[in-house]
Amino acid sequence: MQSLVPGAVLDDKVQLERRLGSGAMGTVWLARHLALDIDVAVKVLKHFDRDAEEIETRFAMEARAVARIDSPHVVRVLDHGCHAGFPYMVMERLVGESMAERLEREGWLEIEDVVEVICGVAKALDRAHALGVVHRDVKPENIFLCADGTVKLIDFGVAKTSTLGAPGLTSPGVMIGTPEYMSREQVVSSSGVTAASDLWSLAVVAYEALTGDVPFTGESLGLICVAICSGRHVPPTQLRKGLPEALDAWFASIFAPRASMPFTSAAELAQGFRATLLADRYAPEDPLTEDPLVEDPRVEDPQLPEVESPWRAPSLVVE
């Protein structure tokens, strides 16, 4: 089977222009949507001789799941299909950089930016969870910082859905996700994860954004899993000066061994994180303002405050 090349037209819909990046599963292209006359990003999976039908089914599920979430904090999916054996997904083109790229360059994020990222991802997660979608791979590589300041959650490729049919494509005993960001329940069984697993991962992202390090590491997958289950981590105040001591207790309440997730939603987690991190920056008589999203009234939205803090680094154009 021939590989796709620049200039190829997929199903008379989009024309591929150039590669933006490649991974183990496929390639993301800059493309032109012929009917809409706009630039788009197209995620094209590699052709797999084995399990091709199952992979195509999961890919289509991802496209439908993301399209239904319909949040400004989730990358928009415009279309999907399969061209000459290559499943593809047409998405909005994003301009900016991933949180991982920002951390690699700066080490950690400014306090206001950390709050903005966590609140933005929390809005995306609560919208997804309300529709029965668990992301299962929340990490800096899957958080995009747009040039206009918007935070977007991307790549629902390993998401678990309970509303779109065929939720059991993950085989029992198969570990899904990125080890350092997995919750204890995810380490034990990816097929049994709940929305609480995404909240754990979001807390890990918050820890890394503040300190530049993940809380749980190891020289092997097994040792990482042991560290996660033990809950032992370096308090963030020991890694970055100026953080409030109450933040150590906040993370400990989530990561403590045998502890259940103390928050019932991503919005609740983000509210607690923001209040703990920024408590000394607001006078008691000055309540934190809220800016609820105005979206689909059928889905209750997290009521999270916005922090006006434009990204400090020059934006990068993904092209």
Domain with CATH 1.10.510.10 in the chain: 96-281
pTM as predicted: 0.82
Q: What are 1-7's contacts with CB under 8 Å, separation 24+?
A: 1/47, 1/84, 1/85, 2/84, 4/29, 4/44, 4/86
Can you name the CATH fold of 96-281? Answer: Transferase(Phosphotransferase); domain 1 (1.10.510)
Per-residue pLDDT at 106: 96
Which residue stretches of the chain have pLDDT < 70? Answer: 1-2, 24, 48-52, 157-176, 190-191, 281-319
Give me the residue label for tokens 């040792």.
Answer: 223
Q: What are 189-192's contacts with CB under 8 Å, separation 24+?
A: 190/136, 190/160, 191/160
- What span, in angstroms and rounded, lies between the C-alpha atoms of 181 and 54? 26
Known catalytic residue: 286?
no
Per-residue pLDDT at 13: 93
Per-residue pLDDT at 176: 66
Per-residue pLDDT at 190: 65
- What span, in angstroms and rounded, lies between the C-alpha atoms of 266 and 198? 8
Domain with CATH 3.30.200.20 in the chain: 9-92
Which CATH architecture best describes the domain 9-92? 2-Layer Sandwich (3.30)
Per-residue pLDDT at 242: 92
Q: Which of 79, 113, 137, 155 is catalytic?
A: 137
How many other C-beta atoms are found inside a 10 Å radius of the C-beta of residue 92?
14
- What span, in angstroms and rounded, lies between the C-alpha atoms of 160 and 193? 8
DSSP labels for 130-141? HTTEE-S--SGG
